[in-house]
Structure 1
Amino acid sequence: MFTNPEQFANATKTLFELQMETFNALASKAVQGVEQVVALNMATAKNSMEGAMATSRQMSQAADPKAAIDTLQSRLQPGVQNAQAYGEELRRIVADIQQDFQQAADTHLVEAKNTLSALIYDVTQNVKPGQENAVEIIKAAIDNAFKGYEQVTQSTRDAMRRVEEQVTRATSQLGEAAGQAPKA
């Protein structure tokens, strides 16, 4: 058992710090990913506006309605291709975020397991007769804390996997649309 309350407090503090480090690492990765998505969206919006303005200018200068429609149709295929490229870039960003999350979570999970193993070792070293039940209670509390830690990590992984699946699905739908779009 712990020889003094400070040992338990220090071990608990260490575990809490590991959880906060994991949270901060994952939050940092999420913010970086959002920044990348915002930058992608801004570039895409800018390019879309420029393309729309150029198409409008060409349509307004067309000699007849057929020429205006031909100009509009000539922009459809590149528009679909741009949407498809956007989807691919978004999928790449999400995949990178997922990989970063996985690495950060795995690293912190190993650190937490090592800390908990040391904590359990400390708890079981100085057990005095009659304290076995207290040791089991502490072990159960530590085990439950770690299970909660693993559950949060797994939930984060699952959420990132679902986001990546949705982006992949949307990207493949854009690819199908690109194949069905009228050719200029």
Structure 2
Amino acid sequence: MFTTPEQFAAANKATVDSLLSLANTALASAERIAALNLNTARSVMEDSVSGAKALMGAKDVQEAMSIQASLAQPNVEKAVAYSRSVYEISAQTQEELSKMVEAQFSEFQKSVAGLLDKAAKSAPAGSDVAVAAVKSAIAAANSAFDNMN
């Protein structure tokens, strides 16, 4: 029932590896969003400059209004595309993180079940009811987690 230093070290290494994987996923997502923001800002700046040049070249108010109206639609489309890209990045990141958490929870379930079995074998006589109650509580928690997913 006792944990050896090797088991403890292996558990710590697995935890550090999991946290590193989570951090890498989060940083990759932040990097993708930062790149999207920079590209969007660059595009907006270029469009603004070309729009301003076009407006300055207008010969009358009617032409200026026409140019201004023609500039609005592409900006709306770009805003929608930007929102869609942010959503896709966020959804992909959420999916990756969810898979990692599910894998960790699965490993945790196996570990707890193994420890409980070891404890049940070395438990004093008459503790069967307590062990069964703990197993039932764990099964209920696992069921609740599965239903959330």
Normalization by structure 2: what TM-score?
A: 0.75
Answer yes or no: is 1:84 the counterpart of 2:80. yes
Task: Map 1:33-48 to 2 at 5 A.
Answer: 33-48=29-44
Rounded Cα–Cα distance in structure 2 between residues aligned with 1:65 and 1:28: 54
Q: Which has the higher contact order (CA 8 A, sep 6+)?
A: 1
* Residues 103 and 30 (structure 1), Cα distance of their counterparts in 2 relative to 1, 3 Å cut: same
Unaligned runs of 5+ in 1: 158-184
Rounded Cα–Cα distance in structure 2 between residues aligned with 1:34 and 1:121: 42
Rounded Cα–Cα distance in structure 2 between residues aligned with 1:31 and 1:99: 15
Q: Which residue is equivalent to 2:104?
A: 108
Q: State the one-letter code of the partner of 2:87.
A: R
Unaligned runs of 5+ in 2: none
Q: Which residue is equivalent to 1:125?
A: 121
Report the CA distance between 1:62 and its aligned residue: 1.2
Q: Which residue is equivalent to 2:21?
A: 25
CA RMSD after TM alignment = 3.1
| Contact preservation (8 Å) 1:59, 1:72 | yes
Answer yes or no: is 1:97 the counterpart of 2:93. yes
Rounded Cα–Cα distance in structure 1 between residues aligned with 2:6 and 2:60: 81
* Residues 115 and 10 (structure 1), Cα distance of their counterparts in 2 relative to 1, 3 Å cut: farther
Q: Which residue is equivalent to 1:169?
A: none
Normalization by structure 1: what TM-score?
A: 0.62
Identity level (%):
20
* Residues 44 and 73 (structure 1), Cα distance of their counterparts in 2 relative to 1, 3 Å cut: same
| Contact preservation (8 Å) 1:44, 1:86 | yes
